[in-house]
Every structure is written in structure tokens, then in C-alpha cells.
Structure 1
Amino acid sequence: MTDQTHAKVQTRHLKRGAYLYVRQSTLRQLFENTESTERQYNLRQRAIALGWRIDQVVVIDSDLCLSGASAVDRHGFQRLVAEVSLGRAGIVMGLEVSRLARNSTDWHRLLEICALADCLILDEDGVYDPAHFNDRLLLGLKGTMSEAELHVMRARLRGGILNKARRGELEMRLPIGFVYDTESRVRLDPDARIQESIRQLFRTFRRTGSATATVKAFREQGLLFPHRVHHGARKDDVLWSE
């Protein structure tokens, strides 16, 4: 820590809590990028080094496995903003800007609230005061770079998907009734019961002329329809229901 960094932390900040926000975008990252998660939790020691007591450090990690592209479903981030708004936070900590937000609107809203509430922001590089122009400018640039990084990553993923599609090698989740064979070609499901159920569906639709009438006819006849499980312990199993 530099003297300049320490100078930003005042007694009024230390009287309030130090809020650590921890996030990983996906379940896979949570299990595979364990070092990144550990580094985020280790920021508690930075707060203690700056003068906060361990009991003043509040860890918000309810947004694990959620993308930072939007704050809509990130209840942890919403709680963080609320705590800052209520004047309970002396400092907000995140390993980097992308952990807190990858959306400029969410990021600048947090900066504005921190500036109004006299709350500092800490990342791996240092401590910033959003009420100071130079710090606000640097934090704004970091937020812009974080959002741009998300755009680049999405473009790369989409480019890879389109390239596989052009080669005819892109496998997608197939509707019930179709499966991939050993050569990755789409074929009718070999299960005769599934084939007959789907044929019955189309015959009924052609006869009745509407989806609602088709559903009604299936229910009246007590016919079940198959659907494939895509997640969990029963993944790829076929279940029959109305």
C-alpha cells in the first residue's frame, strides 16, 4: 500500500463496513477457476490492512454462477448498491471491475452512488475515491474496458459457432423425435413409441386445426407425450407426461 492509498482511507470510512463482492459467471468457472475465487475472498486481508476489523468485513457472494452483463437477476449486487445507498459501506471491494459489473449502466450507477455516499472502491490495483475526478475517470475507463471485453468474448464465441455451422459440424439440442447418430447426422429417434406419439400429434393437429384442440384431444384420450431431460442425474432420459 502507498501513502497516497492510505490517505484516502479516513476515520469516517473505517466507522462503516467493508463490503466484499464475490462473483463467478458460470458454475464451470466456480469449479475450475478456484484460484480466481480464492483471490476474491483474499481481499478481506486488504481491508484489514487498511484498518477495518475482521467483523466489519461483509462478504456478498450470493451471485456466484451469474453473469455480470446485467444487474437484473443479481440480488447480491442489488444488495450491495442498497447498502452503499444507506451509508453503511465505507469501501466496496472487488477483484476487478468485471467482478462487479460488465455493463456500463450498472457500473456508473454504482460509481455515482459511491460518490454521493462517500464510499471508496478497491480493486486489485488500488483504492479509489469516486468523488475525485481523476479516480472517477480511471474507474470509468476500467468499466468501459470491462464491457468491451465482454463484447469481444461474445464475438469470439459466436464466430466459433458460426464457423462450425458453416462446416456442418454444429450440434444443437434437437427436438424430441430426433437424435444424432454415431456420425453426428440427424436421424429419427429409433424408439417406435416416440415416433408414433409425434405422428399422432401431427395427425390430430391436421384434423382439429388448432394447438388448443390438439391438447384437448390428447387429454380426452389419455395420451402422454415424450420429453427428454437435459439436466441433472436423469439427463437424456425420456419422460412421458400430458
Structure 2
Amino acid sequence: MNSVSSQPARAEPSAAHAKVHARHLARAALLYVRQSTQRQVLENQESTRRQYALRERATALGWHRAQIETSDTDLGQSGGSAADRIGFQRLVGEVAMGRVGIVLGLEVSRLARNSTDWHRLLELCALSDTLILDEDGLYDPAQFNDRLART
């Protein structure tokens, strides 16, 4: 995972801001970037660009750029199983150890296509008080309604 250079955070006025607390901001923001095949990586660069652009959403919510780690080692890897995705395995480990305040992914399907892997990550996020941000919004898996929205 690579950290991005430090710049001041920008404020983003929204209801999502109410879910972000100092305890989240004290931990890393982890951006997970993935596309299923090398062909998609080469031919659908807009998806890759949109995934990397989520870093701006994290800074708008209060994370400093130096806190945003990017995991893109799984570009070109299918999301069918976590077994061959080193980046996803690391993401799960970092969340489980309480080092991550927010997980960023373009959409839930980028994180895990396998429902077992997804539910395990969702449970770990709830237990470790880790938020999830995708292109559609900000979710707190520890909150019942947000958890339902992501299952």
C-alpha cells in the first residue's frame, strides 16, 4: 500500500459528515482499487480513474492525504475469492487490527464479489468501528440501517 503526499483536508458539508468522528480520522483511510482482468485495466481506464478519485472524497471528509493508503495490487484480479487477492487480504487484516477508520471502494462489488468475503469484511468493519465509502455514499456497518443497506 502506498501513501499519498500530505495536503490539508477540505471540509465537505453533508449528512455523511455526521458519521465521521475523531476516532475514525485518527486511523488510516484505505482505498481498495480493483478490476477483474488485465484487459479491463487497459480498456476501461475510466473505472480506474474513478476509483483513485475516491481519495478526494476521503480528504473532503477530513482525512489528510498522508493518511490515505492505496491498495491496487489486485488490479486485474477477479473478485470471486479472496484467496488470490493479496491486497484484499491485507485490507481485511488492517481492518481487523483496528488500523483503518474508513475503507474506500468504487462499489461493493469491487471489494468482494463473493458474499462470504463481503460479509466477513462487513462484520470486521462493524466490530472495529470502520466506515465504508463507495460512490453512492458513506456507511457505518455498526449502525443497523447502514448495515442493511450494504447487504
> What TM-score, normalized by structure 2, do the two folds share?
0.91
Q: Which has the larger radius of gyration?
A: 1
Q: How does 1:80-119 map to 2 (within 5 A)?
A: 80-119=91-130
| Amino acid in structure 2 at the alignment position of 1:30 | V
- Quick one: distance in 2 between partners of 1:102 and 1:66? 11
Structure 1's consecutive aligned runs of 4 or more residues displaced over 4 angstroms after TM superposition are none
Q: Matched residue of 2:78: which SS?
A: coil
**Post-superposition offset of 1:4:** 2.1
**Post-superposition offset of 1:2:** 5.7
Tell me which of 128, 144, 148 is aligned to 1:133: 144
2:76 is aligned with 1:68: no
Q: Matched residue of 1:92: which SS?
A: strand
> What TM-score, normalized by structure 1, do the two folds share?
0.57
Q: Which runs of 5+ in 1 are unaligned?
A: 141-242
**Post-superposition offset of 1:87:** 0.7
| Amino acid in structure 1 at the alignment position of 2:40 | Q
Tell me which of 123, 135, 147 is aligned to 2:134: 123
- Quick one: distance in 2 between partners of 1:22 and 1:74? 11
Aligned match of 1:25: 36
| Amino acid in structure 2 at the alignment position of 1:126 | G
Q: Which runs of 5+ in 2 are unaligned?
A: 1-11
Deviations 1:77-134 (A, max 9, x none): 0000000011100000000011101111000000000000000000001100000110
**Post-superposition offset of 1:3:** 3.3
Percent identity, please: 69
Deviations 1:3-53 (A, max 9, x none): 320000000000000000000100100000000000000100000000000
